[in-house]
Structure 1
Amino acid sequence: MPAAPDAEAAPRGGTGSTVTTAVPARLDRLPWSRWHWTIVIGLGTVWILDGLEVTVVGNIAGRLSEDGSGLAITSAQVTGLAAALYVAGACSGALFFGRLTDLFGRKKLFMVTLVVYLAATALTALSFQSWWFFVFRFLTGFGIGGEYAAINSAIDELIPATYRGRVDLIINGSFWLGAVGGSLLSIVALDTDLFPADVGWRLTFALGVVLGLVILLVRRNVPESPRWLFIHGRGEEAERLVETAEAEVRAEHGGGELPAPQGEITIHQRTSIGFLTIARTVFTVYPRRAVLGLSLFIGQAFLYNAITFGFGAILTTFYDVPAAETGYYFAVIAACNFLGPLALGKLFDTVGRRTMITSTYVLSGLLLFATAALFDRGSLTAVTLTACWSVVLFVASAGASSAYLTVSEIFPMETRAMAIAFFYAVGTAAGGISGPLLFAELTDTGKVADTVLAFQVGAGLMCAAGLVAAVFAVRAERKSLEEVARPLSAASS
């Protein structure tokens, strides 16, 4: 299978048996079916849980700090220390489980990471001291971070090349469905007419556990990645899994013959890839792609924090919106975030990656610059500012989701989960640590000029990332993953 025209040369080698397989081509030529929906539902819905987690904690901060909540903790500790520990856990979990995912397989790890999330969330609901709450916020993030590495690698290796872009974007964008649910759930759970003050906030975490258990049941039916199997010396198992998928798809589509697979690949099977080999491949063999990944993640992290981190403070400070009502505004913003990938996702497979990544990053940055200018002139109300944010994030969400798609598909299969973990960790750290520190200082002053500057910083970094994509983005649309980045284990032609 030839390398992509703009791909950089990848190292080859390995030990063990040499096999020739059409497994990647057979997976890529499958028409969409219930088999693919099982994968999407079993793996993709965890992003809804992440959105639910992040939003709920922000919304219950005030209640946790009140007398009678059952927990001696301040609002600042919830939104500051607990949020930072969640981010630290997510970064640590991504790196830890990302390495294990490449070593031991996608399925083992996406089951383990979900169990870690479930256990930590359940124990958070039982918090009786602040230290307990902090520990299990870290461990909840640890599980969620591991999910990002295990899930994105599995999804991209199982979804046909024709649909890979739109499916990946919509799945990553589903985070915002959870955010909408978290906003509305908090309003109900924190109503003391319905639940006691020390019970309602615990129920929000309990719901996350219930949803996670449902996902766990569905996820048992999701197969291991055949691509991972045949490289790691389990070629016969990979063949059986693909034959089962083909039989299910053929039966669903009337029993006719499937299109012939286009091409085979010969690989040297190996049981593991050294960490130094992974690092050398990502940063030495593919330096332009590494710069691209870092740019996309950092750009979207700062744009999102420029808006979402201080949105409540901006509405209450400049427009006198009651703090109890900011959740409604956030629900509107979150809904537009999901609609963006839903509406634009297909274009990443048809118009192409480079054009769409560049345009969504640059356009969202320019729209935020325009919003900053209108805000500076005093031309906006709470409603029209929220409308401007919604338009910006409708476009930006598709771009932000494409960052996960990009780092998942532009590096060799043996490095995929670790590459996702690394770039996710860097982007999350930038957005979850340095971003809030910067934007909190700017938005808390109550000065229009400082808030305008926060918008401009996020917009500028988003535009800069878009320009990097214009030069470095890889034309991966409708191409096999092996064509975009040749496996390290591939035999020489």
Structure 2
Amino acid sequence: MASAETAGAGTGRTVTTDIPARLDRLPWSRWHWTIVVGLGTVWILDGLEVTVVGNIAGRLSEPGSGLAISSGQVTGVAAALYVAGACVGALFWGRLTDRYGRRKLFMITLAVYLAATALTAFSFEAWWFFLFRFLTGFGIGGEYAAINSAIDELIPSDYRGRVDLIINGSFWVGAVGGSLLSILALNTDLLAADLGWRLTFALGAVLALVILLVRRHVPESPRWLLIHGRDREAEEVVAGIEERIEAEKGAPLPAPHGEITIHQRRTVSFAEIGRTVFARYPKRAVLGFSLFIGQAFLYNAITFGFGAILTAFFQVPSGHTGYYFAVIAVGNFLGPLLLGRLFDTVGRRVMISSTYLLSGLLLFGTAWLFDRGTLDATTLTACWCAVLFFASAGASSAYLTVSEIFPMETRAMSIAFFYALGTAAGGISGPLLFADLTGTGEVGDTVLAFCIGAALMCAAGLVAAFLAVNAERRSLEDIATPLTAVPGKPGPAAQNGRPDVTPPSSSPA
């Protein structure tokens, strides 16, 4: 329960509450599955969208497609605009998510994504296609900030790591679907050349509409409500969740342990966000930078030129590269699915550093085998699968990390900032570097591309080995004390017999 220690309504009050502890002690239930489906499945759409566009680029440039555009414009200009939209959207919506709430923003950002995707299907000129690719990215960038912050604040601490990893890794389920769907869409025996690609975008819009309907049942984060002076609403939300879960389990819930005292407020300035991330938590900022940059360059080293590599070195027909990509995408999803639980049991530091280091070392090994000429298309794809099995778990943990290691009031903006940084590095500097290397047709240049990605991934793994935060099975308020927490008041960890590791008056790493 929440109790006000000073009189008055709304913000400006000091409140002692056990709401975070009550959320964290909940057993897994059907209600939590509703959260996963309502919030997490949008990454499947993102994976489908990105993969389909890459695979249908050739069809769009053909006569009779109904759109006067070149393949280079689709994979170059349109892809860059999508990336730019995602970066701008993450920062724009991230700020609003921290200020106006998780629920309001994840409804708006999905609506933007839905509308932009649907309107892309009606493209009649290149400028229209470019505009709505940017707006699609603008919506999906906001989803990363709003969704990851909401999920981490609603999922119990014992399950937060695995759930976050699997949800972020579900991008690759969409990538598998996108690869197979593009094969169907490009089959002119089934669909006209000017219709098939349009239907793929229309399908994405329909799926987004279904997810939007499910999201209506997802509540606002009680943690956000509590800090923003709406503790009565927070109490109602948590009490409703507890009633549903008790009815499902047929037994009373265990008693919560721990309270936190906060001074409610509505907004946090950009200056305070900057001081928090870079002055109060400088080592954590370095960790976030390292994880996002490492995974961005590794993925570009492999995926940016994968089709060209298969075609140039192993004579795989361009129409068949989608099958190989589907196999790689399966490997990507299996990593978070099978390793996710270990992030909650073995621990964050061990798992983050080991997945980054293993993927980097395996890519070094792949580069060595490729240089020796001992690989064919099948064995190279198998090597990529092994690399990405670990890399995908590591990349997903980057989103988990920046979501849980900074205070509640800056959570969405922190996710947005590091996501925009990694996306820009991967979508701008990555392609500029790797396009020249993988496009030459020279074995040595492709080996160099692999080695650059592998080296940066290993470097990020070493940073994680020293700087990663042991956040497994801990309350978010324990990992990073809210900026609104009252100094000198015990937090959740202290009430459970552990010292609060990040008191507001200290300057933690």
**Interval containing the TM-score (normalised by the shorter chain):** over 0.9
2:324 is the alignment partner of 1:324: no
1:209 corresponding residue in structure 2: 205
CA distance in 2, matches of 1:288, 1:347: 24
Aligned AA for 1:64? L
After TM superposition, what 4+ stretches of structure 1 lie above 3 angstroms from structure 2? none
Aligned AA for 1:390? C
Alignment partner of 1:284 out of 249, 262, 279: 279
2:179 is the alignment partner of 1:183: yes
2:336 corresponding residue in structure 1: 341
CA distance in 1, matches of 2:280, 2:49: 37
Alignment partner of 2:26 out of 30, 39, 53: 30
1:120 corresponding residue in structure 2: 116
CA distance in 2, matches of 1:223, 1:276: 30
2:65 is the alignment partner of 1:69: yes
CA distance in 1, matches of 2:99, 2:216: 20
CA distance in 1, matches of 2:368, 2:427: 26
2:373 is the alignment partner of 1:375: no
- Is the Cα contact below 8 Å between 2:86 and 2:142 reproduced in 1? yes
2:351 is the alignment partner of 1:351: no
- Is the Cα contact below 8 Å between 2:149 and 2:403 reproduced in 1? yes
2:87 is the alignment partner of 1:91: yes
Aligned AA for 2:319? A
2:456 is the alignment partner of 1:468: no
Match runs of 1:107-256 below 5 Å: 107-254=103-250, 256=251
Match runs of 1:401-416 below 5 Å: 401-416=396-411
2:409 is the alignment partner of 1:425: no
2:434 corresponding residue in structure 1: 439
2:484 corresponding residue in structure 1: 489
Structure 2 residue runs of 5 or longer lacking an equivalent are 1-9, 489-509
CA distance in 2, matches of 1:314, 1:321: 9
- Is the Cα contact below 8 Å between 2:14 and 2:263 reproduced in 1? yes
- Please list the CA deviations of residues 84-110 of structure 1 after superposition, one character each: whole Å capped at 9, or x if unmatched: 000000000000000000000000000
Alignment partner of 1:459 out of 449, 454, 460: 454
1:100 corresponding residue in structure 2: 96
Aligned AA for 1:445? T
2:256 corresponding residue in structure 1: 261
- Is the Cα contact below 8 Å between 2:342 and 2:351 reproduced in 1? yes
Structure 1 residue runs of 5 or longer lacking an equivalent are 1-13
Superposition CA RMSD, Å: 0.7
CA distance in 2, matches of 1:131, 1:206: 19
Aligned AA for 1:189? A
Aligned AA for 2:293? I
Deviation at 1:190, TM superposition (A): 1.2
Q: Secondary structure at the match of 1:489?
A: coil
2:290 corresponding residue in structure 1: 295
Aligned AA for 2:240? T
Deviation at 1:260, TM superposition (A): 1.0
Percent of aligned pairs sharing the same letter = 80
Aligned AA for 1:389? W
Aligned AA for 1:114? L
Q: Secondary structure at the match of 1:430?
A: helix
Deviation at 1:15, TM superposition (A): 6.3
Q: Secondary structure at the match of 2:16?
A: strand
2:301 is the alignment partner of 1:306: yes
- Is the Cα contact below 8 Å between 2:91 and 2:420 reproduced in 1? yes
- Is the Cα contact below 8 Å between 2:11 and 2:229 reproduced in 1? no
- Please list the CA deviations of residues 98-146 of structure 1 after superposition, one character each: whole Å capped at 9, or x if unmatched: 0000000000000000000011001100000000000000000000000
Aligned AA for 2:335? G
Deviation at 1:257, TM superposition (A): 1.6
CA distance in 1, matches of 2:117, 2:359: 34
CA distance in 1, matches of 2:261, 2:24: 17
- For normalisation by structure 1, the TM-score amounts to 0.97
Deviation at 1:275, TM superposition (A): 1.2
2:400 is the alignment partner of 1:400: no
Q: Secondary structure at the match of 2:162?
A: helix
- Please list the CA deviations of residues 454-479 of structure 1 after superposition, one character each: whole Å capped at 9, or x if unmatched: 00000000000000001110000000
2:107 is the alignment partner of 1:78: no
Higher normalized contact order (CA 8 Å, seq sep 6+, divided by chain length): 1
2:13 is the alignment partner of 1:20: no
Query: Is 256-265 or 398-407 further displaced after alignment?
Result: 256-265
CA distance in 2, matches of 1:153, 1:184: 31
